[in-house]
Structure 1
Amino acid sequence: MQRRIVGFHQDEEQHWVAHLECGHNQHVRHNPPWFVRTWVTTEEGRSAAVGTCLECRLCGPDEPSSPARHS
């Protein structure tokens, strides 16, 4: 299920984690060659990614897309 990014934080290992509109979180690593996400390495890149969508692996097809749930 596609969900919009609403913000970011770093976990205890300093990896970037996206906050999704559904209330779930998802790591967004730049780890070539598997994950090429150079945008995550800069503040400007992360800011530009707010509002774009990621596939939420925790949301099922029955879940509403909004408003945001905070778990």
Structure 2
Amino acid sequence: MERKIVGFHLDEENDWVAELECGHNQHVRHNPPWINRPWVVTPEGRAKVLGQVLKCKRCDDGAPRDWFSSDQPA
């Protein structure tokens, strides 16, 4: 299922994680040549993709939310 990106945070290993509108998290690493997401390394790049969609496998699997709207950063 496709879900909009509503925010970002760094995990404990300093990798970027997208926060999706459904309450699930998804890593969005830039790790060339395997994963090419140069937009993730700058605040401007991350801001440009807010509202774009990612496929959420956790929704497809019926997994519980990773966070709730009250947990999400402003």
**Shared fold (TM-score greater than 0.5)?**
yes
Report how far residue 61 of structure 1 moved: 8.1
1:32, 1:40 → 2: CA distance? 12
Report how far residue 46 of structure 1 moved: 0.3
Q: Structure 2, unaligned stretches of length 5 or more?
A: 70-74
Residue 35 of structure 2 corresponds to 35
Residue 23 of structure 1 corresponds to 23
More helix by share: 2
1:14, 1:61 → 2: CA distance? 26
Residue 68 of structure 2 corresponds to 70
Report the residue type matching 2:25 in the other structure. Answer: N
Runs of 4 or more off by more than 3 Å in structure 1?
A: none
Residue 9 of structure 1 corresponds to 9
1:70, 1:51 → 2: CA distance? 18
Q: Structure 1, unaligned stretches of length 5 or more?
A: 63-68
Residue 72 of structure 2 corresponds to none
1:45, 1:53 → 2: CA distance? 15
TM-score (norm. length: structure 1): 0.83
Report how far residue 60 of structure 1 moved: 2.0
How much is the aligned-residue C-alpha RMSD, in angstroms? Answer: 1.9
TM-score (norm. length: structure 2): 0.80
